[in-house]
Chain A
Amino acid sequence: MTLQAYLTLAAMLFCIGLFGVITRRNTIGILLGIELMLNAVNINLVAFARYLGDLSGMVFTVFTICITIAEAALGLALVILIFRVRRTAVADHLDLLKG
């Protein structure tokens, strides 16, 4: 397979994730869309690292995976906290800062 095939696949995955982030109302659903987008980026990094013969991309992928997990753990903890305070999961209802 060519490098372009992997890049195209990752681009499609990224756009599906973007679609999810824009259209989902539920905060957990939005987080899942973000995970899809980050996953697409990881595929890009590994594909470039493999095709260019440079290991830095793979090391970077280890970092991005770990940071994504930390982000998801904190994000979901925030979702639980928001649920407790506002009793809602819908992002549109979180409009405290709206004048």
Chain B
Amino acid sequence: MSLEPIAFWGLAVVLLASALAVVLTRNLFHSVLYLALTLTATSGLFLSLDAEFLAAVQLLLYAGGLITIAVFAIVVTERLVGDRITQTSRQILTGFVLAGAVLVALLAVFHRAPLTVTRPPVSGDLTRAIGQTLLTSYVLPFELLGVLFLAALVGALYFARPDD
């Protein structure tokens, strides 16, 4: 018996539990920390899918970058308002019904179209292949991504500038 099912079920439990905690805790700061756990577990899931490069990107950009930005935003807005941010939820029934309906619809589709593909063995170095594809077939979107980041950087700086 291979380790993969064990890793999958363990990660699935952590992933779903922490995701539920993200949407259910009252303290916004705890919510962000649970999101970090969710994103780290997702990175583990990528590892179990043999995508080491994506697992590293996920950890660096999401668990590193996104969480830092979110914590920063919370700290800044908390100071502006002056009291701790606790968040209340509303329309729990509506949310439950809508999310449940989407889930049932998705699962029904999966059930109707049984995807019986088996996982092919890894052929060569996936990271190398991703890099080569990124800089040959997808080089234009890759460069546009740089432009997008520059625009986002300038935009965020402009929005968050101090009052003068």
In the assembled complex, B160 has its CB within 8 A of some CB on chain A: yes
Which A residues between 41 and 94 are near B, CB-CB below 8 angstroms?
42-43, 46-47, 49-53, 55-56, 58-59, 61-63, 65-74, 76-81, 83-84, 87, 89, 92
Contact with A along B41-65 (1 / 0, CB 8 A): 0100110111101100110011001
Q: Which residue of A lies closest to B145 (CB)?
A: A66
**Chain B residues, Cβ within 8 Å of A65:** 54, 57-58, 61-62
Chain B nearest CB, measured from A9 CB (Å): 5
Residues of B within 8 A of A71 (CB): 152
Question: Known: A9-B12, A55-B129, A59-B138. Contact between A70 and B50, CB under 8 A?
Answer: no
B31 to A29, Cβ gap below 8 A? yes
Q: Are B90 and A74 in contact (CB under 8 A)?
A: no
By secondary structure, the B interface counts as helix
CB-based contact B57/A62 at 8 Å: yes
Q: In the complex, what residue of chain A is closest to B45 when comparing beta carbons?
A: A43
A1 contacts B5, C-beta separation under 8 Å = yes
B88 and A13 form a contact (CB under 8 A): no
Known: A24-B87, A65-B58, A67-B148. A55 touches B130 (CB 8 A): yes
Q: Smallest CB-CB separation from A61: which chain B residue?
A: B54
Which size bracket describes the interface of A in this complex? 35 or more
Q: Are B81 and A50 in contact (CB under 8 A)?
A: no
Q: A1 and B4: CB pair below 8 A?
A: yes
Docked-complex contact A29 and B117, CB < 8 angstroms = no
Residues of B within 8 A of A69 (CB): 61-62, 65-66
Closest residue on chain A to residue B120 by CB atoms = A53
Total interface residues in chain B, CB < 8 Å? 84
**Contact of A72 with B70 in the complex, beta carbons under 8 Å:** yes
Q: Which of B48-97 contact A (CB under 8 A)?
A: 48-51, 53-54, 57-58, 61-62, 65-66, 69-70, 72-74, 76-77, 80-81, 85, 87-92, 94-96
Nearest opposing residue in chain A for B127, CB measure: A58
Chain A residues within an 8 Å CB radius of B49: 6, 46-47, 50
Q: Assess A66 versus B149: contact at CB under 8 Å? Given A74-B156, A89-B81.
A: yes
**Which B residues lie within 8 Å of A55 (CB)?**
126, 129-130, 133
Within 8 Å by CB of A58, from B32, B51, B80, B100, lies: B51
Q: By the criterion CB–CB under 8 Å, are A50 and B73 in contact?
A: no
Report whether A23 and B31 are in contact in the complex, using a CB–CB cutoff of 8 Å: no
With contacts A58-B126, A65-B61, A65-B62 taken as known, whether A25 is within 8 angstroms of B138 at the C-beta atoms is: no
Q: How far is the CB of A10 from chain B (nearest CB, A)?
A: 9
